[in-house]
Amino acid sequence: MRRCVSSFVIAGFVLILFSAQQTAQAANEQNLVDREKRRLEELFIWKMSEELKLPVEIESSFAEAIRTLNREKSKSLADIEAALVAIDQAKTKTESEKAVKRYERAIRKFGDVPIREVSRLRKVLGAERLSRYLVSKSQMAEKLKAMAQGSAQPRSESH
């Protein structure tokens, strides 16, 4: 009997250690993702600041506006994911309806991000710089999309 209890305790202890290790690994991976997002955000801010030839006083306001918009976008995406989980886990018609309404609110909020971007950046950059920003951002997105598609396609072998 003692052998069975001690085996059970050992198994429980191993399970707890494994769980703690998995949690720590997931937290570490999330930290890496967060760090990479911040790095890309800073790279974007730097590239746009250079492209628009922003003076330092405008650059700091521009950077803060971009960071705020990115936080709002991330929050909206998290809200969408949470709403999808709620939809998936809904057990009744009422829960489903509530979850779908939550999803709809989250999608609308996410869809408003580009409108807020234009509104906020117009105040920071003015109309002329905002126009250049929008064109540059679109061109940058197209280049990144082309690079991603190029890396996704198999390379042809040369003979």
Model pLDDT for residues 16-70, shown as the tens digit of each residue: 656 666 666 666 677 888 888 889 899 999 999 999 999 999 999 999 999 999 9
Q: Is the pLDDT of residue 13 over 60?
A: no
Q: Which CATH number fits domain 34-139: 1.10.10, 1.20.120, 2.40.50, 3.40.630?
A: 1.20.120
97-108 b/e (C-beta count within 10 Å ≥ 16 → b): eebeebbeebee
Please give the average per-residue pLDDT across 142-147, as a whole number.
87
The pTM score is 0.71
21-48 b/e (C-beta count within 10 Å ≥ 16 → b): eeeeeeeeeeeeeeeeeeeeeeeebeeb
Distance CA(92)–CA(78), nearest Å, equals 23
Place of tokens 């999803």: 103
